[in-house]
A = this chain, B = another copy of it.
Amino acid sequence: MPKPGPRLRLVDVAERAGVSLATASRALAGRDGVSEEVASRVRQVSQELGYVANPYARTLAGGASSTVGLVVHQVDDPYFSEIAGGVIQIADERGLLVQICHSGRDPGHELRQIRHLIAQRVGIIIVAGSGYRDARVEADAKAALSDYQRQGGRVAVIGRHSLGVDAVLPDNEAGGRVLAEHLLGLGHRRIAVAAGDEALTTVADRLAGVAAALRGQGLDLADLPVVHSAFTREGGRAAAERILAEHPRTTAIIALNDAMAMGVLSTLRAQRIAVPERMSVVGFDDVSVAADLAPGLTTVRLPMTDMGRMALAMALKPVSARPRRRSTGHQLVVRDSTAPVTPRA
């Protein structure tokens, strides 16, 4: 709706600086072919007049788009809101604007969002959140992003390996291992896992880490109950209910993300099962509220804000021959939700 409005155009700046349109454009874009003297005069005038380029004209004419598209599961999920915070921070420093959309963990919807961003001609696309184990499910998204890259768009993903683009990869497997080792070290043997949707690679990877730790102790994941449910607080509640009903002797629950851990804690609280006395609980991610839960949640910290920063920083670099991959650190944070296993009454 915003009518053109009598805004300042580049011609105005050019005229005022006594140069041609082209020269003004070059000067402000910092391209060479302009004497430093003229360039600085143009910049000066542009500053004084408070000129801001019309991004639509600029992009239409083939210039760089200064907006980045970010696809997350949901911004109001703390894991993703922290990532978004990191992306926005870097964007702000570079004068870029961030368009955020929701995938809702639905591959079809995600694809639609990616297409929308491409149609909007954003210059950079960042996709955050787990990938899908079935390659066919993300084939279309992968194709769309490749096309987009081929046409000069920049892409970075967070937490998914199979898209063939620059990626920031949380250490899911190692994190899962560390978590299981922590519980094993406390003497727990009857461990259950509250896992998210099994179609998600993040779930599979974290689970693989847990399995590896168990094997290290001569145990087998097959002996441990793994309950798949939604990768959310509600899913955690449901999983905990099933675990308690079907495996009443469980002494520790590994939730594969903090949201699920919060659901697990909620169920335990409702059933008056003391944590960590009767049940140890661990999460994954270390969202900022993890420390404020009752009890403080033992979890694996992922640097979400940094991950967002890293992803955008990567995308801002010139394309590399082959996709870059940066893996994030991970760190076990022991709080009050875990304790040594107690002998059965």
Residue A85 lies at the interface, judged by CB distance under 8 Å to chain B: yes
Task: Give residues of chain A (256-314) contacting chain B, Cβ–Cβ below 8 Å.
Answer: 262, 265-266, 288-289, 291-295, 305
Instruction: Given A2-B151, A289-B292, verify A85-B74 contact (CB < 8 Å).
Output: yes
- List residues of chain B with CB within 8 A of the CB of A210: none
Interface pair A123/B294, CB less than 8 Å apart: no
Interface string of A61-79 (1 = CB under 8 A from B): 0101101010000111010
Q: What are 14 residue pairs bridging A and B, where the CB atoms are less than 8 Å apart in the complex?
A: A1-B154, A2-B122, A2-B148, A5-B151, A5-B152, A56-B60, A57-B60, A75-B81, A76-B288, A81-B84, A88-B100, A99-B99, A289-B289, A292-B294
Of the listed stretches A113-121, A164-172, A216-224, A321-329, name the one at the interface; the rest are far from the partner chain.
Answer: A113-121
A92 to B55, CA, bound (A): 23
Interface pair A92/B97, CB less than 8 Å apart: no
- List residues of chain B with CB within 8 A of the CB of A47: none
Interface pair A62/B99, CB less than 8 Å apart: no
A84 to B119, CA, bound (A): 23
Residue A105 lies at the interface, judged by CB distance under 8 Å to chain B: no
Interface pair B99/A97, CB less than 8 Å apart: yes
CB distance from A131 to the nearest CB of B (A): 22
- List residues of chain B with CB within 8 A of the CB of A81: 75-76, 78, 81, 84
